[in-house]
Structure 1
Amino acid sequence: MMARRYDPERRTRIIDAAIRIVELKGIAALSHRSVAAEAGVPLGSTTYHFAGLDDLLVAALEQVSGGQGGAMKDWEEALAGSGSGGGKGGTGGRSLADALTRLLEEYAHGDRGRIHLEYELYLAALRRPALQPVAAAWLDTMVDVIGRHTEQEATARVLVALIDGLLLQLLLTDRPFDRAAVRAALARVTGEG
């Protein structure tokens, strides 16, 4: 009998493989078999670590939304220097609308595959109840991060909804990023005119 090889990184490799598959081919291409092949592990390893695909998708969404150096940490750091014209946070000279516009512009000119991946996982929560708590936590975290720079939580929630809409439109239309239009929309919500 052959001894089982200890592989403490296997679970992480499986999650990373699932993320790559979803990013490149979409959730429909995700299966225990495709993940095992992508991760270079035996099929039984995927079912050992994740009983079902929903469990694997939850782990993937958690990693994408809040993993080490996750997007929200980047947003928090970028917004740290913004003020919102009477908002709660920020000490720099940039307005909140300017800071958010710059972040969205970086997203738009960066790896669109990453945005596609985030929204593919995020929207999967519509049909997969196991993902809903993770997606809701992601939204709440984003509202919290942006809300530190607004007077009211409601303003932060509207900004998050607007940002989601803008990013989805960018993905769906493949139009170029219109900095002036995005900044004007964000400024209307923040009251920065």
Structure 2
Amino acid sequence: MPRRHDPERRQRIIDAAIRVVGNKGLAGLSHRTVAAEADVPLGSTTYHFATLDELMTAALRQANEGFAKVIAARGGLTDAGADLPAELAGLLGEWLAGDRTGVELEYELYLAALRRPALRPVAAEWAEDVAALLARRTDPLTARALVALMDGICLQVLLTGAPYDEEYARDALSRLMPRPRPDTEAPSAPRPSGGPAGR
């Protein structure tokens, strides 16, 4: 019997991998568990993803899309007149207020790159993409610092279970923004000629 063409099978396998990590953690991820979750033959998972690192890379890249969708939906980062720290704090709030399981999953896959060098390039994509976007509103170094702080704030919220404090995030992010130069200060009055007494 000819093999039935299934163009969406690869995507179903990625979706299944994300569900397995969400339910069982990274320790429960294998070609076999993903095949069972996706309801496909084991050979299908190894056909599309020869190694577990390849499968995890695809899952991480898809998981990274969550924050990108929040950015695209909000749209304030492209407004030159918007308060950038306030926009970023609001973005984090929207992201963390969404599906918390999905956010935790993104970070679990993201942190897996510590032990799996093959994941590091895709793990860095999130930070690089957001920094490139922020660099349109500030300088590249400040953009990277803002991303690092946002990353740290998210990790603290996820690890401690504390509620997200948008006011704190806005204040912390604003401290990284360059201060405007005092270009508008009035020039000092010229000293009179002839010495201190004006003679």
Q: Does the residue aligned with 1:51 lie in a helix, a strand or coil?
A: coil
Q: How many residues align?
A: 180
Cα distance in 2 for residues equivalent to 1:143 and 1:91: 16
Give the superposition deviation at 1:81.
3.1
- Identify which of 123, 127, 130 aligns with 2:118: 130
Cα distance in 1 for residues equivalent to 2:149 and 2:27: 27
Give the superposition deviation at 1:108.
2.1
Q: 1:25 to 1:147 in 2, by over 3 A?
A: farther
- Identify which of 81, 85, 110 aligns with 2:76: 81
Q: Does the residue aligned with 2:2 lie in a helix, a strand or coil?
A: coil
Give the superposition deviation at 1:58.
0.9
In the other structure, the counterpart of 2:55 is 56
Q: 5+ residue gaps in structure 1?
A: 83-88
Q: Is the 8 A contact 1:101 1:179 kept in 2?
A: yes
Cα deviation digits, residues 4-50 of structure 1 (max 9, x gap): 11111111100110011112322111011110011010111111111
1:18 aligns with 2:6: no
Between the two proteins, what is the percent identity of the paired residues?
A: 56
Q: How does 1:18-37 map to 2 (within 5 A)?
A: 18-37=17-36
Cα distance in 2 for residues equivalent to 1:113 and 1:55: 23
Cα distance in 2 for residues equivalent to 1:75 and 1:147: 15
Cα distance in 1 for residues equivalent to 2:2 and 2:62: 31
Cα distance in 2 for residues equivalent to 1:100 and 1:81: 9
Q: How does 1:104-123 map to 2 (within 5 A)?
A: 104-123=92-111
Q: Does the residue aligned with 1:60 lie in a helix, a strand or coil?
A: helix
- Identify which of 76, 80, 85 aligns with 1:91: 80
Give the superposition deviation at 1:180.
1.6
1:190 aligns with 2:177: yes
Counterpart of 1:8, as a letter, is P
Q: Is the 8 A contact 1:76 1:145 kept in 2?
A: no
Q: Is the 8 A contact 1:101 1:182 kept in 2?
A: yes
- Identify which of 40, 46, 68 aligns with 1:72: 68
Give the superposition deviation at 1:130.
1.0
Cα deviation digits, residues 75-106 of structure 1 (max 9, x gap): 1553x435xxxxxx5234x3001101111111
Cα distance in 1 for residues equivalent to 2:87 and 2:159: 24
Counterpart of 1:57, as a letter, is M
Cα distance in 2 for residues equivalent to 1:13 and 1:81: 33
In the other structure, the counterpart of 2:186 is none
Give the superposition deviation at 1:137.
2.2
Cα distance in 2 for residues equivalent to 1:96 and 1:54: 36
Q: Which has the larger radius of gyration?
A: 2
Greater RCO, CA 8 A, separation 6+: 1
Q: 5+ residue gaps in structure 2?
A: 180-199
Cα distance in 2 for residues equivalent to 1:121 and 1:174: 19
Give the superposition deviation at 1:138.
2.2
